[in-house]
Structure 1
Amino acid sequence: MDPQHVETIAEKRIREAQERGEFDNLPGAGKPLPSLDRPYREDWWINGLIEREQLDMTGAMNPTMALRKEAHAMDETVRDVAREESVRAIVEDYNRRVKLDRLRPAIGNQMPPIAKVLDVEEVVAVWREHRRYVEAQARLRSEAERRAREQAEAERRAGVWWRRLLRTCRR
């Protein structure tokens, strides 16, 4: 089949799809391409896929860099943990993996990156502070709810008293 004939078939199919309205109301219609302001990169398509699909690329990272990323997010990781022992176990497991990572042989002639060991007591102190804050907020909410219930009950009782008074006056 000759290339001109294939192009004609393709153009015909596009025109028919346009006539059927298959290209109407597409997302981003009438808007500039989002990547026009970025410098050209050969791997633009893979970066676009990662961004669009919100893929977690931690598994594809160098193990040391993944550990560094984990250390950076440690306060957020342990924030909702219920018990101090669990927080300690999480940080100690991280530190164990950092020490194992340091035993890997270096590749190449440059100094390999290293991840830092975290201070367990420091992470626990941040966790405790956050727990105190959360508990204080819970107490304040609980107190506000209790006051609101008391206020509603008082208003209900006052309404009952007025209704009784009105009934008595009507008789």
Structure 2
Amino acid sequence: MTGRKPPKVSFRWWVDRQISEAKDRGEFDDLPGTGKPLPPPTGNDAATDWVLRRVRAEGHDTAVLLPPALALRREVQDLPGKLAGERTERRVRELVEDLNERIRQAYLNHLSGPPLTVAMVDVEETLEDWRRSRATP
């Protein structure tokens, strides 16, 4: 393999050329794992995997690692499960209103990261769903 990319040649072309030449020389033949399926992708690199394992091992919620827009979306998604353990309507209302206030503040503060696409949660509709879930045996 050449040490440097020649001038006036695209990086992509140069890399593809190096790979092609290595294939022609047989440098990819008989590699460990040849013919076996790849492990399922985790979508994470080694450092991210380490952080996730560490956070979980210490009993923390991994949602704290999400960008604010994604954390709010996840919180809305997980809301029914969180409310299922609540005993009073007053507490359910407080939790939903608190979440709505944080969503409102997120829109006002123009968070960095992925775009914020979370809608406010309808308090009365959520309360009705909570009541129905408690009435069902």
Assess same fold via TM > 0.5: yes
Aligned partner of 1:122: which letter? Answer: E
Deviations 1:40-83 (A, max 9, x none): 97713532662586363222211111111000011111112111
Change in CA separation of 1:79 and 1:39 when aligned onto 2, cut-off 3 Å: closer
Higher-Rg structure is 1
**1:106 CA drift (Å):** 5.6
Give the corresponding residue for 1:47: 49
* Match in the other structure for 2:107: 102
Q: 2:89 aligns with which of 76, 84, 88?
A: 84
Residue 119, structure 1, aligned to residue 122, structure 2: yes
TM-score (norm 2): 0.58
TM-score, with normalisation over the residues of structure 1? 0.48
**1:53-64 matches, cutoff 5 A:** 54=56, 56-64=61-69
CA RMSD of aligned residues (A): 3.1
Change (3 A) 1:107 1:94: closer
Q: Is the 8 A contact 1:58 1:66 kept in 2?
A: yes
- Residue pair 1:87, 1:124 contacting (<8 A) in 2 also: yes
Q: 2:39 aligns with which of 30, 37, 40?
A: 37
Higher-helix-fraction structure: 1
Structure 1 residues without counterparts, runs of 5 or longer: 1-35, 138-171
Matched AA of 1:91: V
Distance in 1 of aligned mates of 2:84 and 2:96: 12
Amino acid at match of 1:37: P
Identity between Structure 1 and Structure 2 (%): 29
